[in-house]
Structure 1
Amino acid sequence: MKKTFLILFLFSLTQAKSQVLISLIFGDKLNSPFLEFGLEGGVNFSDIYDMEADGANPGFNLGFYFDIRSKQNPAWMINTGVIVKSPMGARHIPLYSLENEDLDNTFAAGRVNRELRYFNVPILIKHQFKSNIYVKAGPQFGLLAKAFDSFKAEIDDNDVIYRKNIRDQVRVIDAGVAFGTGYHINAGNGINITVQYYYGLVPVMKGDGPNVYNRSLYLTAGIPIGKGKAAQRRAEKEAELNRIILPEEETTKPKN
């Protein structure tokens, strides 16, 4: 049973890109009074902690989210989803040999960026205050999609780039904690503006070398998809139900 669940979970992550497109079409069917669905994206600045590098690695992230509200207290909710595009890594790591004399000579005066690509799944507890400010925290899990070192050098005013696949050197599963805060503009169908930080707890690289960990700061905007349409559809159904019930009540009302 556990193996079946894991296979389905991993398969769902690999299909996440197509699900984003599907969500745009069926977003109104994924929203209810206690469930908000939307798309979320922005920029993130990543680093690999304890690895010699020069500055954060900037990138763009994109995914979809669910806010599952508590029926007992709607201010509390579970915030989850999939960050489909989530680049991590580090800039300007130490140059090393590619075990090819021509390549080593080409990039001798160049630099190397480590690029890591994950499907990330946060599972956070979120609390929204009456002021529309919210805070959230919880675990985040990542499934490695790609990993490579990008060598870059400038020769005769032209950029020369070589990518070395290092996926077999990187752990497939990443995990850590995420926490953040944000503001829900025009609560209801408005945009969520979030600042969130990810603190990796699982060593990035395999082997016996020093342990290094993913770190990433996210600045994102979340947009509900189909929420207004879903609310309109519920209102129309409720109005139709009232038109059916009210005449029946009038016909059964006793005469004075």
Structure 2
Amino acid sequence: MSWVKKIPVLALCFFITVTSHSQVLISIIFGDKLNTDKMTFGLMLGSAWNSLTDYSQVNAQANFNLGLFLTFKLEQRFFLQFDALAKYKLGAKDMPVYPLGDATVDSIYQHGSLKRSISYLGLNTSLQYRIWKYLNVEAGPNVTLRTKAKDIFHAAHELGDQFFEKDMKEATTLFDFGLTTGVSWQFTKGKGLKLAARYYWGLVDLYPADAGTNAGRSLQLNLYIQIGGKKPTTNRSDSNSK
């Protein structure tokens, strides 16, 4: 079986490993083996500014994303990358509050604000094309599985800030699906660090009971850190010639 035919199998194993929260273990064991001329493996650290569509009042919510990535070199300029997302969120903040069904609680938060937060496990797949030096453009699908969802109410009070959390798992869709596009720059001559800016366009209504199509939007800035890999060897004849 050639390395190309192994891509789906490796991607599936990669995703299963991350969703079982074994990032550190797989990094230590397989870091060197998964970094070759045809493959690059490592950690993904990201900041995201998330929002939701079709609400009358909303602001972007900042979150931190974490996962692993596996990149295959298909041709000289084409790459296929899988991002296994172990810590990934969507949502928004500064949304208008709604009644909670308790007169005392409603009186506390009626002039407050609402933050919506949805946690996921997921897999982002991107096809990347190198347009100039180490500058890439990329696009692909993103599919995620919801693990947690909550509404966090906040109200300023003379006795201190008041917070109330409501479980929203039953009110949100189990799966989310959308498309990502972006650009990335590979540092250190194609190895080591890569910085990527992406935009996620969700296609699923995350809150079906609410008016409109409440889909996720996310502007992401990700840092990809290669783990392991063979260290460059020094050519003795070259070093002696200096």
Q: TM-score interval w.r.t. the shorter chain?
A: 0.7 to 0.9
Alignment match of 1:149 (pick from 151, 155, 162): 151
Unmatched 5+ stretches in structure 2: 1-12, 234-242
Matched, 1:206 2:221: no
Q: Judge conservation of contact 1:53–1:90 (CA < 8 Å) in 2.
A: no
Q: Judge conservation of contact 1:110–1:153 (CA < 8 Å) in 2.
A: yes
Q: Write the distance in 1 (CA, Å) between the matches of 2:160 and 2:116.
A: 21
Residue in 2 aligned with 1:4? none
Q: Judge conservation of contact 1:107–1:153 (CA < 8 Å) in 2.
A: yes
Q: Write the distance in 2 (CA, Å) between the matches of 1:10 and 1:79.
A: 12
Q: Judge conservation of contact 2:82–2:123 (CA < 8 Å) in 1.
A: yes
Q: Judge conservation of contact 2:41–2:71 (CA < 8 Å) in 1.
A: yes
Residue in 2 aligned with 1:30? 34
Q: Write the distance in 2 (CA, Å) between the matches of 1:105 and 1:68.
A: 56
Q: Judge conservation of contact 2:53–2:216 (CA < 8 Å) in 1.
A: yes
Residue in 2 aligned with 1:43? 47
**Could you give the per-residue CA deviations for residues 155-185 of structure 1, whole angstroms, max 9, x where no partner exists?**
2252221110011010011001101101111
Query: Residue 75 of structure 1: CA displacement?
Result: 2.0
**Could you give the per-residue CA deviations for residues 118-145 of structure 1, whole angstroms, max 9, x where no partner exists?**
1231111011245110111011111111
Q: Write the distance in 2 (CA, Å) between the matches of 1:36 and 1:49.
A: 35
Change in CA separation of 1:159 and 1:217 when aligned onto 2, cut-off 3 Å:
same
Alignment of 1:175-214 (within 5 A): 175-207=177-209, 209-214=211-216
Q: Write the distance in 1 (CA, Å) between the matches of 2:15 and 2:83.
A: 14
Q: Write the distance in 2 (CA, Å) between the matches of 1:182 and 1:188.
A: 11
Residue in 2 aligned with 1:139? 141
- Kindly provide the amino acid, as one letter, of the partner of residue 28 in structure 1: D
**Could you give the per-residue CA deviations for residues 225-250 of structure 1, whole angstroms, max 9, x where no partner exists?**
012xx356xx7xxxxxxxxxxxxxxx
Change in CA separation of 1:161 and 1:221 when aligned onto 2, cut-off 3 Å:
same
Query: Residue 187 of structure 1: CA displacement?
Result: 2.1
Give me the identity figure in percent: 26
Query: Residue 12 of structure 1: CA displacement?
Result: 5.1
Change in CA separation of 1:222 and 1:13 when aligned onto 2, cut-off 3 Å:
closer
Alignment match of 2:22 (pick from 11, 19, 24): 19
Query: Residue 208 of structure 1: CA displacement?
Result: 7.2
Q: Judge conservation of contact 1:86–1:117 (CA < 8 Å) in 2.
A: yes
Alignment of 1:1-256 (within 5 A): 14-15=19-20, 18-26=21-29, 27-70=31-74, 73-207=75-209, 209-227=211-229, 230=230
Q: Write the distance in 2 (CA, Å) between the matches of 1:90 and 1:208.
A: 15
Q: Write the distance in 2 (CA, Å) between the matches of 1:89 and 1:67.
A: 28
- Kindly provide the amino acid, as one letter, of the partner of residue 107 in structure 1: Y
**Which structure has the bigger radius of gyration?**
1
Matched residue SS, 1:29 = coil
**Could you give the per-residue CA deviations for residues 71-99 of structure 1, whole angstroms, max 9, x where no partner exists?**
xx232111112122122101122211111
Root mean square deviation, CA, Å: 2.3
How high is the TM-score relative to the length of structure 1? 0.80
Q: Judge conservation of contact 1:34–1:74 (CA < 8 Å) in 2.
A: no
Query: Residue 11 of structure 1: CA displacement?
Result: 6.0
Q: Write the distance in 1 (CA, Å) between the matches of 2:34 and 2:15.
A: 21
Q: Write the distance in 1 (CA, Å) between the matches of 2:205 and 2:57.
A: 16
Query: Residue 105 of structure 1: CA displacement?
Result: 1.6
Matched residue SS, 1:30 = coil
Q: Which structure shows the higher helix fraction?
A: 1
How high is the TM-score relative to the length of structure 2? 0.84
- Kindly provide the amino acid, as one letter, of the partner of residue 155 in structure 1: H
Matched residue SS, 1:158 = coil
